[in-house]
């Protein structure tokens, strides 16, 4: 039976990076088909995951959602495959696309897509946005089997969580709480923040290789062994 994992949290908490690396670890552990889903239209994921990809090799989630009815072949056609992981697929928006590129999908269309994704892959990793109007992210959080909720040890995250409680109501009883450390150049009150949010399940340490991947456009590649990957593997095992 397939599982949907919703990765959600405050802005700039590392949702895309953690969602992607989590999907890669799940694939490594299970060798099962995995789809990484990014519904973000403000920063289309295909543009920075594959910055050197040819336009003919990159496809769009929007094209699949634009169909009258969504079938398996429609989603497969718009999924970008991994060169190193045979059954790992990327589904997101392309460079230059925005909220005006396609008609806004209806709730029934979003439900169709989720059903197809679950038919295609044993694990669907949804990189949820913070946009309350994003129906796909809302549906992923509503229908997910497990949610990985990310926090950062700063006042901005604390403020966001206090102001946007309603965004996480549907995942409250099925979430793994994770503190993500985004940098090591400044002091972060990690213990104090963890105490504030209570019952933190994992703390992901800062990883220089991740920052390097983000700068060089290699985020779609797996990272080497280290404390970051070790913690992601623990989360993957908890999800599985």
Say what the pLDDT of residue 21 is. 98
Contact predicate 134/39, CB 8 Å: yes
Say what the pLDDT of residue 143 is. 96
Say what the pLDDT of residue 184 is. 81
Say what the pLDDT of residue 150 is. 97
Give the phi and the psi of residue 6 in degrees, each rounded to 5.
-100, 120
CA distance 235 to 240: 9
> Nearest CA to 234 among 33, 25, 32, 1?
25
Domains of the chain in sequence order: 3-230 (3.40.50.300)
> Nearest CA to 45 among 25, 81, 23, 16?
16
Sheet holding 34-37, edge to edge: 80-81, 88-91, 34-37, 123-127, 3-9, 146-151, 175-180, 202-204
- Six-digit token string for 215: 């700068």
DSSP per-residue letters across 6-44:
EEEESTTS-HHHHHHHHHHHHHHHH---EEEE---SSS-
The answer to whether the pTM exceeds 0.75 is yes
Tens-place pLDDT, residues 41-51: 999 999 999 99
The gap from C-alpha 207 to its chain's centroid, in whole angstroms, comes to 18
**Which residue ranges in the chain fall short of pLDDT 70?**
185
């Amino acid at each position: 039976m397939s599982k949907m994992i919703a990765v959600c949290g405050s802005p700039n908490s590392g949702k895309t990076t953690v969602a992607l690396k989590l999907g890669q670890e799940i694939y490594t552990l299970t060798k099962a088909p995995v789809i990484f889903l990014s519904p973000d239209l403000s920063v289309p994921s295909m543009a920075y995951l594959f910055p050197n990809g040819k336009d003919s090799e990159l496809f769009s989630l929007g094209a699949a959602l634009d169909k009258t009815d969504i079938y398996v072949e429609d989603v497969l056609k718009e999924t970008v495959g991994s060169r190193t992981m045979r059954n790992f697929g990327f589904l997101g928006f392309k460079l230059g696309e925005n909220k005006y590129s396609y008609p806004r999908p209806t709730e029934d269309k979003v439900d169709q897509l989720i059903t197809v994704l679950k038919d295609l892959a044993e694990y669907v990793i949804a990189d949820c946005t913070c946009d309350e109007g994003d129906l796909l992210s809302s549906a992923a959080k509503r229908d997910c089997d497990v949610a990985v909720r990310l926090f950062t040890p700063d006042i901005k995250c604390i403020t966001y969580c206090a102001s946007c409680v309603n965004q996480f109501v549907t995942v409250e009883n099925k979430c793994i709480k994770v503190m993500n450390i985004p940098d090591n150049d400044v002091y972060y009150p990690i213990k104090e923040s963890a105490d504030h949010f209570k019952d933190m399940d994992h703390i992901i340490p800062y990883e220089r290789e991740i920052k390097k991947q983000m700068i060089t456009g290699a985020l779609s590649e797996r990272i080497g062994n280290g404390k970051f990957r070790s913690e992601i593997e623990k989360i993957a095992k908890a999800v599985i």
